[in-house]
Chain A
Amino acid sequence: MSDEVGSAAETEADSEPVDESPTLYERWRQIHDNESTVAALTILGVALAPFVLVTLPTQLGLPSEYSWYHNLLTLTLIWGIFALGYDLLLGFTGLLSFGHAIFWGTSAYAAGIFSANVTGSPLAMILVGTLTAVLMAWIIGWISLRRGGIYFAILTLAFGQMIYYIFLSPLGDITGGENGFTGVQVGSLFGVVDLGRAVPFVPEAFVDSWMYVFVGAAMILSVVVGYRILNSPYGAVLRAIRENEQRAEFVGLNVWRYKLMAFILSGAFAGLAGSLYVIQRSFVPIENTLNWTVSGDIVVITVLGGVGSLFGPVFGAGLYMYVANIVSGMPVIGEFWHMILGIVFIAVVATMPHGIWGRVDWLRDRVADAIGGDER
Chain B
Amino acid sequence: MSLVGELVVLLVNGLQTGAIYVLLAIGLSIILGTLKFVNFAHGALYVVGAYIGLLITQQISIANGQLAEWGFPTLGLGWGFIAALVIVPPIVFVVGLAMERFVARPFYDRPDTDQILVTFGLAIVVQELIHALIGPRSYTYDIPSEIAGGIPFSGPVGVPLSAVTIDVWRVWVIAITATLVIAVYAIVEYTDFGLVVKAGTRDPEMVRLLGIRITRPYLVMFGIGAGLAGVAGVVGAPLSNINPEIGMTILVPAFLTVVIGGVGSIRGAVLGGTLIGMVQVTLISLGTVSLGSLSINFTPWAQVGIYALAVVVLLTRPQGLLGSEEVTA
Chain A residues close to B by CB (< 8 Å): 90, 94, 96, 143, 146-147, 149-151, 153-155, 157-159, 161-162, 165-166, 168-170, 172, 292, 296, 299-300, 303, 335-336, 338-339, 341-343, 345-346, 349-350
Known: A296-B124, A342-B121, A342-B128. A143 touches B315 (CB 8 A): yes
Q: Is there an interface contact between B255 and A158, defined as CB atoms closer than 8 Å?
A: yes
Chain B residues close to A by CB (< 8 Å): 32, 36, 38, 66, 106, 111-114, 116-118, 120-122, 124-125, 128-129, 131-132, 248, 252, 255-256, 259, 300-301, 303-304, 307-308, 310-311, 314-315, 318
Q: How far is the CB of B295 from chain A (nearest CB, A)?
A: 14
Instruction: Determine which of B121, B129, B259 lies in contact with A346 in the assembled complex, contact meaning CB atoms within 8 Å.
Output: B121
Q: Is there an interface contact between A150 and B32, defined as CB atoms closer than 8 Å?
A: yes
Chain B positions within 8 Å of A146 at CB level: 314-315, 318
Chain A positions within 8 Å of B131 at CB level: 338-339
Q: Is there an interface contact between A149 and B118, defined as CB atoms closer than 8 Å?
A: no
Instruction: Determine which of A96, A165, A339 lies in contact with B303 in the assembled complex, contact meaning CB atoms within 8 Å.
Output: A165
Chain A positions within 8 Å of B124 at CB level: 296, 300, 338-339, 341-342, 345
Known: A146-B314, A161-B307, A169-B300. A154 touches B112 (CB 8 A): no
Known: A143-B314, A299-B117, A335-B66. A158 touches B252 (CB 8 A): yes
Q: How far is the CB of A159 from chain B (nearest CB, A)?
A: 7
Chain A positions within 8 Å of B314 at CB level: 143, 146-147, 155
Tell me the interface secondary structure of chain A in the complex: helix
Q: Is there an interface contact between B32 and A349, defined as CB atoms closer than 8 Å?
A: no
Chain A positions within 8 Å of B116 at CB level: 96, 150, 153
Known A158-B259, A169-B300, A169-B303; 9 more pairs at CB < 8 Å: A143-B315, A158-B256, A161-B303, A162-B303, A339-B125, A341-B124, A342-B128, A350-B106, A350-B118
The CA of A66 and the CA of B124, in the complex, are separated in Å by: 25
Known: A150-B32, A299-B117, A342-B125. A143 touches B300 (CB 8 A): no
Q: How far is the CB of B80 from chain A (nearest CB, A)?
A: 31
Q: Is there an interface contact between A150 and B318, defined as CB atoms closer than 8 Å?
A: no
Q: Is there an interface contact between B307 and A162, defined as CB atoms closer than 8 Å?
A: yes
13 contacts between A and B (CB under 8 A): A94-B111, A147-B318, A150-B112, A153-B112, A165-B303, A170-B304, A336-B66, A338-B131, A339-B128, A343-B121, A343-B125, A349-B117, A349-B121
Known: A157-B255, A159-B307, A170-B300. A336 touches B128 (CB 8 A): yes
The CA of A149 and the CA of B32, in the complex, are separated in Å by: 12
Q: How far is the CB of B69 from chain A (nearest CB, A)?
A: 9
The CA of A349 and the CA of B118, in the complex, are separated in Å by: 6
The CA of A335 and the CA of B114, in the complex, are separated in Å by: 28
Chain A positions within 8 Å of B303 at CB level: 161-162, 165, 169
Q: How far is the CB of A243 from chain B (nearest CB, A)?
A: 11
Chain A positions within 8 Å of B114 at CB level: 349
- Chain B residue with Cβ nearest A341: B124
Q: Is there an interface contact between B118 and A143, defined as CB atoms closer than 8 Å?
A: no
Q: How far is the CB of B233 from chain A (nearest CB, A)?
A: 20
Chain B positions within 8 Å of A168 at CB level: 300
Chain A positions within 8 Å of B120 at CB level: 296, 299
The CA of A52 and the CA of B240, in the complex, are separated in Å by: 49
Known: A94-B113, A345-B121. A154 touches B259 (CB 8 A): yes
- Chain B residue with Cβ nearest A162: B307
Closest 8 pairs between A and B when the two form their complex, measured CB to CB: A169-B300, A162-B307, A342-B124, A339-B128, A342-B125, A165-B303, A346-B121, A338-B128
